[in-house]
């Protein structure tokens, strides 16, 4: 059963449950970019993300990836294991886009093979700075073994999710993962969704992800709706679900 509100991030609110080891992830309709600098409300967005995340987390679990995801409990919410989160963001890039283009002087759209893995410190105030394993070791953020294991799982996730999207003619350009510990074991946490991935139509290279919002490239809702449709997810957005977001926050 859903209990008290624990905290809110930029796009999700977290609630306690009867079970102290479980939490509820409530996907809100808030869209933010550039670490909160740009903000908007996109009615129904949380519903798309909850459904896409549930679908992808299920796929990963089927392939043996340990994830915090337990089950989708309604249109906006999923039950997950409570993890002790590692304050790092693990990025995998298959195609050059976003911050790597300027940082390394690449052409947007060039393939990266093997994929490039990057680490960012999870710190909104600092704008999630780009770091490396030496920072992790010296600042004692977590152990080198945990980072190595998370990087290995990230590549496994890449293979599985890339395959899911290739089947529907979408390129998985890049994505960000977060990990946490539960009883000393590493689990994939947070979400995988078009808010945390770049997804391009293979032919037209048109984005279906949060870049639509970041760079005013088009209607985010249309992009997320299209992904659901291509994945075969029947997502309906009714007035009750829209109101639920506002009552809970
Ligand atoms: P970047 O090109 O902006 O560094 O982002 C790489 C990928 O990571 C992209 O798919 C978006 C995702 N990402 C997040 O999900 N959250 C973040 O805070 C950041 C910086 C990136
Ligand atoms: N996740 C960050 C934000 O919501 C950065 C981004 O996605 O651009 O502000």
DSSP string, 152-204: HHHHHHHHHHHHHHHTTTEEEEEEEEEEEEETTEEEEES--STTTEEEEETTT
Ligand nearest to the CA of 175: 1
Residues with C-beta less than 6 Å from any ligand 1 atom: 91, 98-100, 128, 174-176, 196-198
Give 247 Cα–ligand 2 centroid separation in angstroms.
24
Instruction: Say if residue 248's pLDDT is above 60.
Output: no
Q: How does DSSP assign 20-67, residue by residue?
A: TTEEEEEE-SEEEETTTTEEEE-TTHHHHHHHHHHHHHHHHHHTT--B
Tens-digit pLDDT profile for residues 65-115: 999 999 999 999 999 999 999 999 999 999 999 999 999 999 999 999 999
Give 61 Cα–ligand 1 centroid separation in angstroms.
23
pLDDT of residue 219: 96
Q: How does DSSP assign 67-101, residue by residue?
A: BSEEEE-SSSEEEEE--EE-SEEEEEEEE--THHH
For ligand 2, whether the C-beta of 122 sits within 6 Å is no
Give 19 Cα–ligand 2 centroid separation in angstroms.
31
CB-CB contact of 213 with 194 (8 Å) = no
For ligand 2, whether the C-beta of 109 sits within 6 Å is no
For ligand 2, whether the C-beta of 2 sits within 6 Å is no
State how far the Cα of 73 lies from the Cα of 25, in Å rounded to an integer: 10
Give 175 Cα–ligand 1 centroid separation in angstroms.
6
Which residue in 19, 81, 8 sits closest to 46, CA to CA? 8
Ligand nearest to the CA of 215: 2
- Give the mean pLDDT of the chain: 95
Residue 36: which pLDDT band, with cuts at 50, 70 and 90? confident
Shortest-distance atom of ligand 1 to CA 198: 10
State how far the Cα of 158 lies from the Cα of 175, in Å rounded to an integer: 8
Tens-digit pLDDT profile for residues 183-206: 999 999 999 999 999 999 999 999
Q: Which residue has the tokens 């960000």?
A: 176
pLDDT of residue 238: 78
pTM across the whole model: 0.96
pLDDT of residue 65: 98
Give 91 Cα–ligand 1 centroid separation in angstroms.
7
> Ligand 1 pocket test: which of 176, 192, 210, 227 has the largest number of ligand atoms within 8 Å of its C-beta?
176
Shortest-distance atom of ligand 1 to CA 174: 10
């Amino acid at each position: 059963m859903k209990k008290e509100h624990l905290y809110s991030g930029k796009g999700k609110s977290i609630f306690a449950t009867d079970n102290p080891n479980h939490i509820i992830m409530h996907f809100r309709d808030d869209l933010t970019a550039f670490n909160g600098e740009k903000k908007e409300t996109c009615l129904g967005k949380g519903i798309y993300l909850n459904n896409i995340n549930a679908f992808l987390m299920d796929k990963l679990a089927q392939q043996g990836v340990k994830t915090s995801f337990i089950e989708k409990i309604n249109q906006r919410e999923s039950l997950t294991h409570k993890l002790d989160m590692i304050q790092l963001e693990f990025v995998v890039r298959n195609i050059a886009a976003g911050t790597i283009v300027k940082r390394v002087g690449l052409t947007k759209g060039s393939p990266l093979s093997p994929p490039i893995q990057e680490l960012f410190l999870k710190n909104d105030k600092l704008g999630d700075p780009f770091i490396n394993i030496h920072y992790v070791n010296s600042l004692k953020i977590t152990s080198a073994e945990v980072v190595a294991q998370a990087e290995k799982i990230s590549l496994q996730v890449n293979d599985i999710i890339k395959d899911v999207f290739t089947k529907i003619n979408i390129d998985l350009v890049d994505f960000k993962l977060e990990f946490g510990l539960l009883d000393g074991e590493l689990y994939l946490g947070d979400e995988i969704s078009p808010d945390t991935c770049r997804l391009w139509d293979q032919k037209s290279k048109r984005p279906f992800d949060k870049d639509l919002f970041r760079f005013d490239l088009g209607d985010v809702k249309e992009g997320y709706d299209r992904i659901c449709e291509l994945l075969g997810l029947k997502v309906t957005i009714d007035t009750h679900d829209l109101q639920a977001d506002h009552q809970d926050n």
